A = this chain, B = another copy of it.
Amino acid sequence: MTNPVQAEILKRVAEVFDKQVPFHNLLGMDIKRYDLDGVEVSIEMKPELIGNIHQQILHGGVTATVLDVVGGLTAFSGLVASRDDWSVEELKNRLQTLGTIDLRIDYLRPGRGEIFTGTGTVIRAGNRVSVCRMELHNERGDHIAFGTGTYMVG
């Protein structure tokens, strides 16, 4: 069960990532869901995100961006879930150090679609470093890309 401290920090992080990160706003990224069970980030296709005008597909950099954001949020929610006695202060400090160490993207098929949704899971949960796997699907459930990322969480 999510305790109030966990709930508060996740809500705040979701708000920041949804509204206060300039590059997320430029792309139109939406944090649809963010809780201890994971994260759902979506992005709507729009002309500015296109990487190939003939094929009308999402630029690979958009895919990488969404998967990196999903990975960071997933790593952080895994950290939040790892203890139920965090103080808000401690979690805020941890958030300061949250960062991507390395990221691998596997592009599976062209980014065709109207709405793309990224999800992730923690595969190695650490007190300092976490590793996550991420996926991007379009609205028809086509699997567009996989990601694997190593994140600093402390």
Contacts and interface: CB of A to CB of B under 8 A. Distances in A.
B128 A102 contact: no
A123 interface: yes
A107 B62 CA distance: 17
A46 B103 CA distance: 24
Interface string A104-136: 111111000000000000011000110101000
Chain A interface size, under 10 / 10 to 19 / 20 to 34 / 35 or more: 35 or more
A4 B48 CA distance: 33
B59 A23 contact: yes
Interface of A: 20-27, 47-53, 59-62, 64-66, 68-69, 99-109, 123-124, 128-129, 131, 133, 143, 146, 148, 150, 152
